[in-house]
Structure 1
């Protein structure tokens, strides 16, 4: 089974819109599993990582200039306390609703643990690796990676409702090959490992059973998400998702 989206973006669409796969930019030459001993290539999207690190730095800023109240939206806000040992970021007070807050209040990033590891985690978000591999690299448990990934993806949707940045996340996602079989034209492709001698990515057609190299498709392949652990676990609820057998 795979997850399908009614639109290639996260923005709302008409109910009569045609159901299309959730497209993301995957590297088809990256192995889906590591048990075969094939090394994992560096698939980091550095433009994406730079954007996230800047946004994270702003969100965790120690600036004492009060932002708008996240509870009521008021600009009648003042500095309540400067950063100190127990609270590493300044807190603010809204003079309309009289509630305290900081820059992360009300965001998916509030109360995240192991904050010193977040910059390294950000660089893994666009990598085509599993949660388990990311947890091993950062020295944290699987649950932490699963929670962080879901929270960051939810945060990206708040920063950019078009989901352009959220669609660059590949951590934990499993791709599915799209396109027509060069032999029978059926839309029934699947990944089929790598050639033992040349190392070329191979695909097979479920319809006719043929096996061929990626080069037969011109070396390029569009992919969709076949499994999204954040959605499957209920940690992330993407809009207009539809499960298709």
Structure 2
């Protein structure tokens, strides 16, 4: 019996109460009728009777934002983010019952009172039945709407001189030949994740917008949608595995794999654009997106530090032998003399930004 007391203030269907308590439906309806009678007898001011919501079937009152209909609205089920919806009986428009961010009381009209129905059944059977006060209107307090937090885009850290090979040429007119070496580990890492993004798997990944794991499959792969579509139950947004990745807005997905070996090479943007038959502006945008995606895949930034394509190497901080200070040193080409070439000396020139003095460092030491 105490379990039944706790359910009197909740707008639950009697079928659910019968399932929870393991008691027959007719017994639950008779209990509700008798408790409503008992409360009405001891509540002359009518203070406690409206608090009994068990067995009341109601419909909300409101105004349709589309057609302007005012009055009783139909129940529209639940939305993807588990919010109760209402349906306009005139135009069929659906919208959430609670559109505010805080909990609010929604006016409702009672369309069916199961306690009154139980009393009517007893009268038709020739039995005594109480005259219960009718509940015609009321209000239902909705739950507080919690707006899911948006996953922020990762911020790319400023470039560090340590990721670049300062012993190699930094300009196209350098006297030394360029050395471009591919980081195969970075290429393999990105290729594995791109294969996963472009896969046909219907297993829902976490939502890329709010990070929620409560997601569902919205549609499988088809002709007009090359990737499976998913929907988040927290923020109700649609997404695919390519959302918030470089592949989401990449029009030339046919060369997505072609840029992977170039990302780790310190090539100019124009050189990569010629190889991929595109423009330097497109390559620059791709490099930025891949750097941000690598920070999502590897928050430690170990793989992002290996991206060098189209990036300008910052000046390193070095010890100046002239002013004896540790300052930024500007690369100033390679040292050469009248008798020996730059390839023979293998020493890079730097210019101190403090005293403007020149000094050279062996390429092998960089």
Q: TM-score, normalised by structure 1?
A: 0.69
Cα deviation, 1:130-185, whole Å, max 9, x if unaligned, reads: 21221122111111101101111111122222222212211122222331134543
Unaligned runs of 5+ in 1: 1-9, 13-19, 222-245
Q: Residue in 2 aligned with 1:193? A: 333
- Using the alignment, how far apart are the partners of 1:71 and 1:177 within structure 2? 38
Query: Within 5 Å, which residues of 2 pair with 1:230-245?
Result: none
- Using the alignment, how far apart are the partners of 1:69 and 1:21 within structure 2? 30
Q: Residue in 2 aligned with 1:81? A: 220
Q: Residue in 2 aligned with 1:35? A: 173
Q: Residue in 2 aligned with 1:177? A: 316
1:202 maps onto 2:341 in alignment = no
Q: Residue in 2 aligned with 1:26? A: 164
Distance 1:162-1:74 versus aligned 2 partners, 3 A rule = closer
The size of the alignment, in residue pairs, is: 201
Distance 1:11-1:141 versus aligned 2 partners, 3 A rule = closer
Which of 1 and 2 has greater Rg? 2
- Using the alignment, how far apart are the partners of 1:11 and 1:94 within structure 2? 27
- Using the alignment, how far apart are the partners of 1:170 and 1:29 within structure 2? 15
Distance 1:31-1:105 versus aligned 2 partners, 3 A rule = same
Query: Within 5 Å, which residues of 2 pair with 1:143-158?
Result: 143-158=281-296
Range moving further from structure 2, 137-146 or 57-66: 57-66
Distance 1:212-1:76 versus aligned 2 partners, 3 A rule = closer
Distance 1:38-1:140 versus aligned 2 partners, 3 A rule = farther
Q: Which has the higher contact order (CA 8 A, sep 6+)?
A: 1
Q: TM-score, normalised by structure 2?
A: 0.48
Other structure's SS at 1:211 match: strand
Range moving further from structure 2, 126-135 or 202-211: 202-211
Cα deviation, 1:173-224, whole Å, max 9, x if unaligned, reads: 2222331134543334221212451422422333262332425xxx223xxx
1:220 maps onto 2:359 in alignment = no
- Alpha carbons 1:68, 1:74 under 8 Å: kept: yes
**Comparing both structures, which one devotes a greater share of its residues to helix?**
2
1:211 maps onto 2:211 in alignment = no
Unaligned runs of 5+ in 2: 1-154
